[in-house]
Amino acid sequence: MIFGNIRNLKDYLCMEDGVFECFNYAKRNDLCACENGSHEIDGKRLFVNIVEYETTDASKRFWEAHRAYLDVHLMLEGREQIDLNFIQNMSVKEYVPKDDFLPMEGAKNGSVILGPGDFLVCYPSDAHRTAVAAEKPERIRKAIFKVQI
């Protein structure tokens, strides 16, 4: 996983080209003005989901990871906590290929709080639990880029 802010991209030159494509797309397009939903960038290889939801207590959320895509979470509005661990530390359930969804259960090893401009890149070994309230529940809006591996 890589946690950073879009203002400091020059510090993250080691990231994959596909991840930089996400940030270049974000710079060229007003993601705050995009409608919620999925937006194709390059077919199934690269797309972005614009989502809006209320953060909540961690006990109401689920753990996940992905095998076919990297997740690049880019916060647009609000603050969200994302809990993290490695899938090796979790009780892994059955993978759902059509949704690229690997459910699991376990405890967090750490967490990050995303504010506007912050990003989190999640790789296949990164378990993540999203939509957790940072301090109190609030409405957030973010872009979740999906980069095919």
**CATH number of the domain that residue 14 is part of:** 2.60.120.370
Distance between terminal CA atoms of the chain? Answer: 15
Q: What's the rounded Cα separation, in Å, for the pair 54 and 64?
A: 18
Q: What's the rounded Cα separation, in Å, for the pair 118 and 114?
A: 5
For residue 16, name the pLDDT band (cuts at 50, 70, 90): confident
Tens digit of pLDDT for each residue in 40-94?
Answer: 999 999 999 999 999 999 999 999 999 999 999 999 999 999 999 999 999 999 9
As beta bridge partners, residue 114 has 80
Domain that holds residue 127: 2-148
Strands 80-86 and 126-132: antiparallel
Tens digit of pLDDT for each residue in 100-147?
Answer: 999 999 999 999 999 999 999 999 999 999 999 999 999 999 999 999
Q: Is the confidence at residue 9, as pLDDT, over 80?
A: no
Is 71 within 8 Å of 114 (Cβ atoms)? no
Q: How many domains does the chain have?
A: 1
The confidence score (pLDDT) of residue 49 equals 98
15 CB contacts (<8 Å, ≥6 apart)? 2, 121
